[in-house]
Amino acid sequence: MEKINVLYSFNKDTWRMAAVSIESLLLTAKDTAKIVIYCMVEPKTRGYWKIRRIIRANKKHASLVWYRVNPKKNPFKDHESSKANPKAFYRCFAHRVFKKIDKILYLSTDTLIYRDLTELFNIDISDYVLGAVPDMAPVKESGNVLGAYAKDFSEKYLNNGSYYNGGVLLMNLKKMAENEHLLFENKVPLKYPVQDLLNASFAGKIKTLPLKYNLAPGAGVPAHFSQEEAAEINAGGHVILDCYYAKSYDKERSNKVTYDMFEKCAEKIGMKPESFMAADKKKEKIRKTYIPHIKVRGKTLLFFGMEIK
């Protein structure tokens, strides 16, 4: 039986997304895989009992380790971006928390897993700090804002090397511990804080993983990926979808492959995609207008608090 260590980090607002991702992980895992799911969570985060029931219901060889992060012990607590979103930085000090583990696979709560992850977890990264997939920002397309940023960042700080996405990371925790000083010595301006920090700190120490392990759906495969990878993806050869471009529960904007998988996993654990959309609406700020009793929430007009369609 092969052991796979998987790491999630979330808070009270994102634990439900983590639950759906974990359901997809267990649904597609081989019976021979022994999965240990590590959750680094902010204080007061709900979801422990729900996720525990999900794991037990799947009847796979899986277990749960729930670790509440003490804000005072977050080494990045003084980082401006960490103050607004501390959980984003948890992956950067997992080696301090789980000292007995050599390797762990970090997955964003936005991920959906379509195939068993044993092959991915067994990739040899003994000489690297991380294994990651190059970001799908189209660096070879002139005029694309994201692509221009990734290209500029690569030229300035990565010696023209790959700019990697931080949503799926195969982490060598021993190497992380040995090289953690690089995270604190780094003075590079950070637009996408954790992703930029990991790229700049560990440039030359990241092993490139195939696109199938971190595919952002809804867009074509950019030209900086090989034709072989593009052909594999176009034939449905993806393993992990990282839905950071379009919300997987948004039926109107996400593609069918993504939405169908999210709906399947969410409903299996007693959730509905519509509830995620409703939660998003509640978070949107309501703005007053010059017209009495008319307000705006996002792009929706409200009349006495009721939506105008």
The neighbouring-strand residues paired with 207 are 131
pLDDT for residue 193 is more than 80: yes
Rounded distance, CA 269 to CA 29, Å?
Answer: 17
Q: What is the DSSP string of 10-75?
A: E-TTTHHHHHHHHHHHHHHS-TTEEEEEEEEE-TT---HHHHHHHHHHHTSEEEEEEEEPPGGG-T
The torsion region of residue 272 among left (phi > 0), alpha (psi -120 to 50) and beta comes to beta
Percent with pLDDT over 70 in the chain: 91
Q: Strand 33-41 and strand 61-68: pairing?
A: parallel
Domain ranges of the chain: 2-271
Residues making up the chain, counted from first to last = 309
pLDDT for residue 293 is more than 60: no
Fold observed for domain 2-271 = Spore Coat Polysaccharide Biosynthesis Protein SpsA; Chain A (3.90.550)
- As a whole number, mean pLDDT of residues 19-33 equals 96
Q: From the CA atom positions of the chain, what is the Rg in Å?
A: 20
Model's pTM, two decimal places? 0.91
pLDDT for residue 149 is more than 90: yes
Percent with pLDDT over 90 in the chain: 79
User: What is the overall mean pLDDT for the chain?
Assistant: 91
Q: What is the DSSP string of 112-127?
A: EE-S--HHHHTS--TT
